[in-house]
Chains A and B, each alone.
Chain A
Amino acid sequence: MSEHVLALEGVSKQFGGLKALSDVSLRIPARSRYGLIGPNGAGKSTLINAITGISPPSSGRVVLDGSEIQGRRAHHIARLGIGRTFQTSAVLAGMTVLENVAVGAFKKLTASDAESVFALPRARRQQRSASEAAEALLDEVGLADLAHRPVEELPYGKLRLVEIARALASDPLLICLDEPAAGLNPSEVEQVGQTLRGLEKRGVALLLVEHNMKLVFSVVDELTVLHHGSVIAQGDPATVREHPEVLEAYLGSRRGE
Chain B
Amino acid sequence: MNSKNLTQPRMIQNWIIAAILIALAVVPLFADSFTVRMATLAGIGSILALSLNLLYGFAGQISFGHGGFYALGAYGAALVAQNLVSDLAVAIPIAVIATIIIASLIGAPVLRLRDHFLGLATLAVGLVIYTVLNQWTDLTGGPSGMSIPTTALFGIELDSTIYHLLVIVILAVVVIGITTLVNSKVGWALRALKADEAAAASVGINVAKYKIIAFGISAGIAALGGTLYAFLDNYIAPETFGIHASIMILTMVVVGGLGSNLGAVIGGAFFISLPMLFIEVQEYQHVIYGAVLLLFILFLPGGIAGIRLRRS
Contact = CB atoms under 8 A, between A and B. Distances in A.
A117 B217 CA distance: 11
Contacts of B185: 106, 109, 111, 113, 116, 123, 126-127
A154 B184 CA distance: 24
A99 B3 CA distance: 12
A90 B194 CA distance: 12
B188 interface: yes
A86 B184 contact: no
B203 interface: yes
A123 B180 CA distance: 12
Nearest to A131: B1
A52 B202 contact: yes
A74 B259 contact: no
B204 A170 contact: yes
A179 to B, nearest CB: 15
A149 B6 contact: yes
Interface stretch (A14-22, A77-85, A197-205, A234-242): A77-85
B102 interface: no
Interface string A111-151: 10100111100010011000000000000000001011110
Interface residues of A, number: 45
Contact of A150 (B6, B177, B192): B6
Contacts of B199: 86, 90-92
Given A148-B1, A149-B6, A54 B198 contact: yes
A91 B202 CA distance: 11
B6 A92 contact: no
Report, as a range, how many residues of chain B touch the other chain: 20 to 34
Interface in A190-212: none
B164 to A, nearest CB: 27
A247 interface: no
A92 B202 contact: no
B180 A79 contact: no
A52 B201 CA distance: 10
Contact of B202 (A74, A93, A150): A74
B203 A103 contact: yes
Interface-centre pick from B6, B201, B203, B206 (highest chain A CB count, 10 A): B203
Interface in A136-184: 145, 147-150, 166-167, 169-170
A166 B188 CA distance: 13
A167 B194 CA distance: 18
A95 interface: yes
Contacts of A252: none
A256 interface: no
A107 interface: yes
Contacts of B120: none
B205 interface: yes
B165 to A, nearest CB: 25
A94 interface: yes
B51 to A, nearest CB: 15
Contact of A113 (B2, B186, B194): B186
Interface string B191-211: 110111011111111110000
B184 A117 contact: yes
Contacts of B2: 145, 148
A86 B180 CA distance: 31
Contacts of B203: 78, 83, 103-107, 166, 169-170
A129 to B, nearest CB: 12
A50 B189 CA distance: 23
A104 B300 CA distance: 33
Nearest to A54: B198
Contact of B184 (A53, A73, A116): A116
Contacts of B259: 94
12 contacts: A53-B201, A54-B202, A75-B206, A75-B207, A83-B203, A86-B198, A86-B199, A106-B203, A117-B177, A117-B181, A148-B2, A150-B6
Given A53-B201, A90-B199, A169-B203, 8 more contacts: A84-B202, A92-B196, A94-B195, A103-B188, A107-B204, A109-B188, A123-B185, A150-B6
Closest CB pairs A-B (n = 7): A92-B195, A116-B185, A90-B199, A74-B201, A107-B204, A78-B204, A148-B3
